[in-house]
Amino acid sequence: MHEDAHKLIPELQQWNDGQGISLEAWTSCVGSYDLAIGYATLFWPDFVLYDDCVFFKEPDAAEYKDWMAHCRGDKQSVEKVMNHHHLMDLFRNSQFSPTKEILVHIGKLLRDVWQCKLKRDFPDRQIRVEFYDDATDDLVRYEITVFHERR
């Protein structure tokens, strides 16, 4: 997955007078411990159970009740809508504008990592992470969500 880092992060090629730098070396140079802790909450979130639903955090009771009414009591639909994230919103103040390739890379990575975390935290539940990457050029449409597979 990291073999395409130089395509996703053009800055890597500019280091060392144009000779480039590895992803690991670049991260060591420009990263920080506080950012690592912040990113950890994105890549390894603390999921919670609420009314037999899984969420990234305990939902506001009134908002949950409203969504339950709107979705006619369908908990899977409520989880999908309350847990969805637009990848373009992950870093709202970034000076760097992502490409479709970057969003797909991050979306697939989050999907895989979150699925592992959910399987570890809730081994007896069928919880799914779905990443919507319909190959559109509208970058706002790249979304990811978490929900129980219910029958």
19 in a domain, yes or no? no
- Report residue 90 as tokens: 């992950």
9 in a domain, yes or no? no
25 in a domain, yes or no? no
Tens digit of pLDDT for each residue in 98-112?
989 999 999 999 999
48-50/53-55 β-pairing:
antiparallel
88 in a domain, yes or no? yes
24 in a domain, yes or no? no
Determine the average pLDDT of the residues in 12-29.
86
Residue ranges making up the domain that contains 130: 46-148
61 in a domain, yes or no? yes
- pTM over cut 0.75: yes
- Decide which of 95 and 83 is more confident: 83
**Total count of domains within the chain:** 1
Answer whether residue 97 shows pLDDT above 90: no
Answer whether residue 1 shows pLDDT above 60: no
16 in a domain, yes or no? no
pLDDT on residue 83: 98
Measured between alpha carbons, how far is residue 140 from residues 3, 65, 92, 110 in Å?
A: 26, 27, 12, 17
Tens digit of pLDDT for each residue in 46-61?
999 999 999 999 999 9
